[in-house]
Amino acid sequence: MEKYLRVGVISSSHGVRGEAKVFPTTDDVQRFKKLKTCILDTGREYKELHIESVKFFKQMVILKFKEIASIDEVMQYKGKDLLVTRDQAVKLEENEYFICDLIGLRVVTDEGEDFGVLTDVIQTGANDVYAVKCPNGKEVLLPVIDECILDVDLERQQVTAHIMPGLVD
């Protein structure tokens, strides 16, 4: 499991006081209002940043950090990830998972056969879809519905799926 979860990416500066325009990578952008700190992944180190203010502009979040005072300082972190610890993460409901925890899980059929490796989660609106790379190199898309995804076991690093007729043709 990942130690940190990405909640956004610094895209540019905003204004002249060192505010950062952040592209959110979380489902709940309002979560930024509750955050007191986050972690900046500079590529060389992790820096804790204290959030002084939060604003919303179109699909972006505007953050002011105590440690950053100028446009130039913001711009040196353009494209860098903002992270939170698992303790700061949004609490999940039963049968909800962080995408980063699902990527790489083995997928086995309900008959015990190795089916492949989960490589992506596609969010469609109606239900999620798991992209699975099969041993033969083919990609198969499995709908995340009760009839298809029978179990997700993070401890065993495994998804158990019922392969419905017509999914693998």
Domains in the chain: boundaries: 4-88, 99-160
**pLDDT tens per residue, range 23-32:** 999 888 888 9
Rounded to an integer, the average pLDDT of 128-149 is: 94
Report how many helices (DSSP H) and strands (DSSP E) the chain contains, helices first. Answer: 3, 12
Rounded to an integer, the average pLDDT of 94-110 is: 92
Residue 1: predicted pLDDT: 63
Pairing of strands 106-109, 158-161: parallel
**pLDDT tens per residue, range 53-65:** 999 999 999 999 9
Rounded to an integer, the average pLDDT of 66-78 is: 94
Calculate the average pLDDT of the chain: 92
Domain topology for 4-88: Elongation Factor Tu (Ef-tu); domain 3 (2.40.30)
CATH of segment(s) 99-160: 2.30.30.240
Stated pTM of the model:
0.75
- 116: tokens are 């492949």
What's the half-sphere exposure (Cβ side, CA atoms, 13 Å) at 19?
Answer: 16
Rounded to an integer, the average pLDDT of 25-45 is: 92
The SS3 of residue 16 is coil
